[in-house]
Chains A and B, each alone.
Chain A
Amino acid sequence: MSSYQLDLFSSLGINILLALSVYCPMATGQLSIGNAGFMAIGAYVSAMLTVHVHLPLFPSLIIGGIAAAIIGVLFGFPALRLKGIFLAMATLCFGEIVRNFFMNFLQTLTGGAYGFRGIGDVPILISWIWGWVALSLVFFFFLSRSRLGLALMATHDDQTVSELIGINIVFLKVAAFGVGAFIGGVAGGLYAHYYLYIEPEFFNVWESIFIALYVIMGGMLTYWGPVLGASIFTLLPEFLRFLQDWRGAFFGVVIIGLMIARPSGLVTREILRIDFWIPYLKRRKP
């Protein structure tokens, strides 16, 4: 692979992880547009550990993820009383708070607004990134087929009824937020150690919104939705390079078109079932 392709597939893997980090709370009906904040926490914590403490990469990534998860749970407890657009606003503010924190504090360790240099004692391979993607997909595969996964879906569909049939929805929502934050934190750690340089600006509102869009576009009812959404958002702009200046505009049109054509996202639970395709397969026969 050329280094261009290598970079592309690395950012694809990281974007899939980020999309899954938003998908997790989304599976319980919580829209988060602050996940760049969890990514930032994972990136900075793991980078500080490898650079200043000389910890190996793997434990650093895990600790970065756990730090993000703890912050996520602490934030989740009060925030999850909010619903819909209010929760979305709170998560957005959360992301900004994190970005400002790394801009203004711990500057001697992280370089603040000037950026964190000198990451890279530990080389990272693309296989690390895709290893985490595979691990996450296995997790979501089991989750989707478990009773717990069903409880997440129930919470997503109707919180009141979910509670009345014995589901502890507060626990589930906070846990979903925490697991999403962990995945986001790990993705941040991988990002920092692949690109070897981070600065607070990388983790701004736009990054958060893009991550949320991966899930909204791809579909929020199965874990294949965020995978597809992240892939389209990462790869399509590359395939559209020949459009030059029109690339951004065309991409925007594609997004609006998709939203009109498939408002629930590209991948829904139906199209993952064989019987959905049977009429189409039959039609081909003479």
Chain B
Amino acid sequence: MKDTPLLTLKGTYKKFGGLSAVDNLSLKISEGYIYGLIGPNGAGKTTIFNLITGVYPCTSGSILLDDVDLTPLKPYRIARLGISRTFQTIRLFPSMSTWEHVLIGQNFLSRSRIGEIFPIRRTQGLALRAQAEEALRILGLWEVRDRKAVTLPYGSQRKVEIARAIAAQPKLLLLDEPSAGMNIRETEELLSVISKIHDLGITILVIEHDMRVVMGVCDHIVVLNFGRKIAEGTPMEIRQNEEVLEAYLGKEE
């Protein structure tokens, strides 16, 4: 893949006390593809998401989005530059309906500052409204839009998180174990949802344990162990990589 890099990690390093959670990681995410990030528990996958989105500062190294260095930026600035994410343990807003989650996902998209204090219904451009509706329809949540999100079934709550993330019209979407806790039918739906989001032109980086998801939708896979990248390649290449089988896939069988 020699396309334009959207996100670049250069020697990214993160230490928690004595533990190197992410160890000198370099990575290029090219625009328009779906990337899988796999590795055993504690490999440092979620930490990478936290570094990219600015939850933690990097111990050293840099992270670039389209040549903009993200490392000195606050999380809200990074989000506004076009990176949205979901969380390994679902984090929804307890007071909000599903529809409100999508609206708040769009919070920085409206151009007018004055419009902020006027009622949503009138000033929110029709385009923005249509995009909010589309986000819910893609995830099959349109029918439950007025329900409080935290009262929905588990699988649907995961989808609300994804809807909130794509409502921001990100360039890059980070999904942290989206199929965790989903049954087989919900996982099948998730696969088609990921494809639909990709069709919108959004680049995706997904952390996954479910090999059906990883092998099914990813164009490119990065394997992590003890914070280090141990392999990278197409699903076919990864499936045949000895080190990967030993470190990770072997355990599953």
Contact check: which of A143, A156, A167 meets B107 at CB < 8 Å? A167
A side interface size, CB within 8 A: 24
Report B-chain residues with C-beta under 8 Å of the C-beta of A169: 76
Report B-chain residues with C-beta under 8 Å of the C-beta of A164: 53-55, 75-76, 79, 85
Interchain CB contact under 8 A, B96 and A154: yes
Report A-chain residues with C-beta under 8 Å of the C-beta of B234: none
Report A-chain residues with C-beta under 8 Å of the C-beta of B137: none
The answer to whether A165 and B96 touch (CB under 8 A), given A148-B116, A148-B117, is no
B72-105 vs A, Cβ < 8 Å mask (1 yes, 0 no): 0011100110001101000101111000100111
Shortest CB distance A169–B (Å): 7
Interchain CB contact under 8 A, A168 and B76: yes
| Residue B110 is within 8 A (CB to CB) of chain A in the complex | yes
- Comparing B118-126, B200-208, B223-231, B243-251, the segment that makes contact with chain A is B118-126
| Residue B154 is within 8 A (CB to CB) of chain A in the complex | no
Interchain CB contact under 8 A, A142 and B117: yes
Contact check: which of A146, A153, A168, A269 meets B118 at CB < 8 Å? A146
Report B-chain residues with C-beta under 8 Å of the C-beta of A269: 95
Interchain CB contact under 8 A, A147 and B93: no
Report B-chain residues with C-beta under 8 Å of the C-beta of A167: 76, 104, 107-108
> Is chain A's binding surface mostly helix, strand, loop or mixed?
helix
| Residue A157 is within 8 A (CB to CB) of chain B in the complex | yes
| Residue B164 is within 8 A (CB to CB) of chain A in the complex | yes
| Residue B63 is within 8 A (CB to CB) of chain A in the complex | no
Interchain CB contact under 8 A, A147 and B120: yes
Interchain CB contact under 8 A, B119 and A146: yes
The answer to whether A161 and B93 touch (CB under 8 A), given A142-B117, A146-B120, A166-B79, is yes
| Residue A150 is within 8 A (CB to CB) of chain B in the complex | yes
| Residue B168 is within 8 A (CB to CB) of chain A in the complex | yes
Interchain CB contact under 8 A, A166 and B55: no
Report A-chain residues with C-beta under 8 Å of the C-beta of B76: 163-164, 166-169
Contact check: which of B96, B119, B164, B168 meets A145 at CB < 8 Å? B119
Report B-chain residues with C-beta under 8 Å of the C-beta of A165: 79, 84, 104-105, 107, 164-165, 168
**A-B residue pairs in contact (CB < 8 Å), sample of 9:** A142-B118, A146-B119, A147-B103, A151-B104, A156-B95, A157-B94, A163-B76, A164-B79, A167-B76
- Interface, chain B (partner A; CB < 8 A): 53-55, 74-76, 79-80, 84-85, 87, 91, 93-96, 100, 103-108, 110, 115-121, 124, 164-165, 168
- Interface, chain A (partner B; CB < 8 A): 142-143, 145-148, 150-151, 153-154, 156-158, 160-161, 163-169, 221, 269
